[in-house]
Amino acid sequence: MLRTILTALTLFALWLLMSGIYKPLIVWMGVGSSVIAVYVVRRMDNAADTERLAVRLRPLTTIGYWFWLLIEIAKANWAVTKLILSPKMNLNRHLFKVPYTQKTDLGQTIFANSITLTPGTISVEVEEGDFLVHAVSYSGDDMDALSDMDRRVAAIESAGA
Amino acid sequence: MMGLIVEILSWILIVSGGAFTLIGAIGTLRFPDFWSRLHAASVSESAGMILLIFGMCLQAGPTLITVKLLIIGAFIIITGPTSTHAVASAALTSGETPESDEDTRKSQEGKS
């Protein structure tokens, strides 16, 4: 029950931020739409007996990880930009396997999305224990950089998960 | 004075974001095959998008528009890689196998 009320309040807060018009009629429509949205979600929860997505991450480590990732994205962008603008495009395309050590689905998703978010590497396919990763200018360092990223993503998962 | 600094900074961000978006587009045209083009497109998706969003945030100042821009940015950061992965995975499944670097070198030497 607490979870339902919190969801409705979060949705309503989001609605207030998006709307920007605070006339009584409009605000009541916002209240109504968040209540209807929560009702529909509850019904869908009952209809499909899937597991709920549990978000278990260390908050501070996660924020630190995002800053680190932002710097990685900047570096990788610069590398790919140089590659695009160089007259001779010295591509070294390669498809290789990267092992992942995250235990939760969310952790694996964050790792795979981080790989794709940094230009130059794209996670193509998920296999048992490995991601298939495509790189545009592959070098031996890529493997080390990716296992470093893997370690950092595994570190933001909380121990209980 | 403060306003001027913010203005200059925001235009630096917007212009460089636009430049990265353009570079991504150039790369998408220049790169030889499907897989490398995906990499080029991700330059406009990450650097271009992030710089443009921050530049526009500075233009908007502390208003609701900034909040909306940040929410848009967060959504693109999640949906961008997901859709790239969907495209790449679909390509691999439908038999678009990536060329290995070895083959590429040989064919480039053959052409030049």
DSSP assignment of B32-69 equals SSHHHHHHHHHHIIIIIHHHHHHHHHHHH-SSHHHHHH
On whether the pTM is more than 0.90, the answer is no
Answer whether B31 sits within 8 Å of A73, measured CB to CB.
Answer: no
Angle B12-B14-B17 from CA coordinates, rounded to 5°: 105
Picking from A81, A134, A138, the nearest residue to B43 by CB comes out as A81
Joined together, the tokens standing for residue A14 give: 């989001």
Nearest to A146 by CA among A131, A124, A161: A131
pLDDT in tens, A142-156: 788 888 888 888 888
Picking from A84, A113, A134, the nearest residue to B81 by CB comes out as A113
Confidence of residue B57 (pLDDT cuts 50, 70, 90): very high
Percent of chain A with pLDDT over 90: 7
Picking from A18, A81, A122, the nearest residue to B20 by CB comes out as A81
Which residues 6+ apart lie within 8 Å of A156 measured at CB? A57, A58, A61, A62, A65, A107, A110
Asked if the structure places residue B107 within a domain, the reply is: no
pLDDT in tens, A53-82: 667 778 888 888 889 998 988 888 888 888
Confidence of residue B22 (pLDDT cuts 50, 70, 90): very high
Answer whether A84 sits within 8 Å of B27, measured CB to CB.
Answer: yes
Asked if the structure places residue B111 within a domain, the reply is: no
pLDDT at A161: 43
Question: Average pLDDT, whole number, for chain A?
Answer: 84
Confidence of residue A159 (pLDDT cuts 50, 70, 90): low
Chosen for mutation from A11, A19, A71, A80 (greatest number of chain B CBs closer than 10 Å) is A80
**How far is the alpha carbon of B7 from chain A, nearest alpha carbon, in Å?**
23
pLDDT at B111 over 70: no
pLDDT at B53: 93
pLDDT at B52 over 90: yes
Asked if the structure places residue B108 within a domain, the reply is: no
Question: From the CB of residue A31, how many other CB atoms can be counted at a distance below 10 Å?
Answer: 13
Asked if the structure places residue B51 within a domain, the reply is: yes
Asked if the structure places residue B45 within a domain, the reply is: yes
Spatial separation of the C-alpha atoms in residues A152 and A154, rounded to whole Å? 5
Nearest to A8 by CA among A27, A32, A29, A28: A32
Asked if the structure places residue B104 within a domain, the reply is: no
Query: ipTM more than 0.90?
Result: no
B39: exposed, middle or buried (Cβ count in 10 Å: 0-12, 13-18, 19+): buried
pLDDT at B15: 94
Answer whether A122 sits within 8 Å of B84, measured CB to CB.
Answer: yes
CB-side exposure of B41: number of CA atoms within 13 Å? 17
| Cβ-based interface (< 8 Å): residues of B facing A | 20, 23-24, 26-27, 30-33, 35-36, 38-40, 42-43, 46-47, 50, 64, 67-68, 71, 77-78, 80-82, 84-85, 88-89, 92, 98-101, 104
Domain interval for residue B9: 2-96
Spatial separation of the C-alpha atoms in residues A62 and B47, rounded to whole Å? 21
Percent of chain B with pLDDT over 90: 28
Q: What number is the average pLDDT over the span B77-88?
A: 88
Question: From the CB of residue A130, how many other CB atoms can be counted at a distance below 10 Å?
Answer: 13
Question: From the CB of residue A158, how many other CB atoms can be counted at a distance below 10 Å?
Answer: 14
Confidence of residue B43 (pLDDT cuts 50, 70, 90): confident
Spatial separation of the C-alpha atoms in residues B96 and B92, rounded to whole Å? 5
Residue matched to tokens 């997901």: B82
Nearest to B34 by CA among A127, A95, A41: A95
Spatial separation of the C-alpha atoms in residues A158 and B86, rounded to whole Å? 28
Note whether A74 contacts B: Cβ–Cβ < 8 A.
Answer: yes
Note whether A29 contacts B: Cβ–Cβ < 8 A.
Answer: no
pLDDT at A117 over 50: yes
Nearest to B47 by CA among A81, A148, A138: A81
Confidence of residue B106 (pLDDT cuts 50, 70, 90): low
Spatial separation of the C-alpha atoms in residues B73 and B80, rounded to whole Å? 10
Alpha helix segments (H runs only) across A20-139: 24-47, 59-85, 105-117
Number of structural domains, chain B? 1
Neighboring chain B residues of A123 at a CB cutoff of 8 Å: 81, 85, 88
pLDDT in tens, A15-24: 888 888 888 8
pLDDT at B108 over 60: no
Spatial separation of the C-alpha atoms in residues B39 and B30, rounded to whole Å? 12
Asked if the structure places residue B105 within a domain, the reply is: no
* Gap between the terminal Cα atoms of chain A: 24
